[in-house]
Structure 1
Amino acid sequence: MRTGRIERRTKETAITVEVNLDGTGAYDVSTGVGFLDHMIEQFSRHSLIDVTLKCDGDLHIDQHHTTEDSALALGQALADALGDKGGIGRYGEAHSPMDETLARVVLDISGRPYLVWKVRFTQEKLGEWDTELIEHWFHSVAQTAGLTLHVQQLYGSNNHHICEAVFKGFARAMRQAVEMDARKGGAVPSTKGQLGG
């Protein structure tokens, strides 16, 4: 099984993350930010990547460090589980509808972090989670997982639906990209013989 585990301790957060790329979408998530928990659970369920994530952060200040560090640690655990990335699909894409909303997520496990974000929220919070932190979460996970990640809201007006469509789209795209392709015989999917750099 392809698994990764990260423990991250700073003066701002204490985080433990475990992932299993060949899982069933089982999750156990606790960050202290309810809506963030819900979105990471959606990611796990729809990617079929098992995720255990526990974060004790300085929420008495604000949610920034918890949001950023949970994404950095999750990305590191995903990268750890992927290893040299031999045999993976590498690319993933999904169109994700939720009622009136449609999101598109396209990604490449390239080893070259890059985020293109074309999503617009019209309210400051979802639950207690600051919506300005959602882009930052995706930037952080792309950074440490080594993803080239394009996220676009094609249309939609309900902020909850927009956020959930984006996370589910990300999950479905990751599911495609991390799955093993038997035809590749374990080869790294690059003519360079490696991904990144």
Structure 2
Amino acid sequence: MRSAKVERNTKETRIVAEVNLDGTGESRIATGIGFLDHMLDQLARHGLIDIALEAKGDLHIDFHHTTEDSGIVLGQAVSRALGERRGIRRYGDALIPMDETLTRVALDASNRPYLIWKVEFTRDKLGEFDTELFKEWFQAFAQHAGLTLHVETLYGTNNHHIVESCFKGLARALRDALEIDPRKADAIPSTKGTL
């Protein structure tokens, strides 16, 4: 099974994450930030990745460190679970409708991290969560998982739907990209022979 566990301890956060890339979408998420927990549950459920993540952070300051560091640790766990990325399909994409919102996500599990983020919000906050922190999470996750990741909301007005469609799009694109290709299960999907 392709699984990994990563721990990160700083003066700002203490986070442990476990992933199983060949899971069923089970999740145990506790970051202390309800909305982030909800989004990471969507990532597990729709990506069929088992995720256990517990974070203790300086939430008395704000949600920034816990949000970003959760992306770092989860990304590192995914990257470790992938190992040398042998046999994966490598590319994945999804077009996710959520009521009035439509979001497109495309990714390459190339081990060359890059984020294109074309997502706009009409509110500064969702509940107590600063909407600008969603980009921080996606940036941290892409960087540490080794993903070239493009996220674009084509249209939408409800900020909750916009964010949720981004996470669900990431989940479905990851599901395709990280799946083992039975026709090339022993090959690294690169003409260079390495990712």
TM-score range, shorter chain: over 0.9
- Tell me the TM-score normalized by structure 2: 0.99
The alpha carbon displacement at 1:186 in A equals: 1.3
Q: Say whether the 8 Å CA contact 1:34–1:128 is kept in structure 2.
A: no
Moved more, 52-61 or 182-191: 182-191
Which stretches of structure 1, 4 residues or longer, exceed 4 Å deviation after superposition? none
Aligned to 1:99: 99
SS in 1 for 2:183: helix
**In percent, how many aligned pairs have the same letter?**
64
**Counterpart of 1:44 in structure 2: which amino acid?**
A
Aligned to 2:24: 24
The alpha carbon displacement at 1:185 in A equals: 3.3
Aligned to 1:11: 11
The alpha carbon displacement at 1:188 in A equals: 0.4
- Tell me the TM-score normalized by structure 1: 0.98
Q: Are 2:118 and 1:127 equivalent residues in the alignment?
A: no
C-alpha distance in structure 1 between counterparts of 2:108 and 2:185, whole Å: 19
C-alpha distance in structure 2 between counterparts of 1:16 and 1:185, whole Å: 30
For structure 2, which runs of at least 5 residues remain unmatched after alignment? none
Q: Are 2:40 and 1:40 equivalent residues in the alignment?
A: yes
Q: Say whether the 8 Å CA contact 2:117–2:152 is kept in structure 1.
A: yes
1:128-167 equivalences under 5 Å are 128-167=128-167
C-alpha distance in structure 2 between counterparts of 1:190 and 1:177, whole Å: 13
1:54-65 equivalences under 5 Å are 54-65=54-65
**Counterpart of 1:42 in structure 2: which amino acid?**
Q
Q: Say whether the 8 Å CA contact 2:88–2:185 is kept in structure 1.
A: no
Q: Are 2:60 and 1:73 equivalent residues in the alignment?
A: no
The alpha carbon displacement at 1:127 in A equals: 2.2
C-alpha distance in structure 2 between counterparts of 1:128 and 1:29, whole Å: 18
The alpha carbon displacement at 1:180 in A equals: 0.2
For structure 1, which runs of at least 5 residues remain unmatched after alignment? none
Q: Say whether the 8 Å CA contact 2:96–2:104 is kept in structure 1.
A: yes
Give deviations 1:131-179, integer Å, cap 9, x for gaps. 0000110000000000000000011100000000110000000000000
C-alpha distance in structure 1 between counterparts of 2:56 and 2:192, whole Å: 40
SS in 2 for 1:86: coil
SS in 2 for 1:183: coil
The alpha carbon displacement at 1:126 in A equals: 1.3
Length, aligned pairs only: 195
**Counterpart of 1:104 in structure 2: which amino acid?**
R
C-alpha distance in structure 1 between counterparts of 2:185 and 2:139, whole Å: 32
Give deviations 1:86-132, integer Å, cap 9, x for gaps. 00010000000000000000000011110000000111111221100
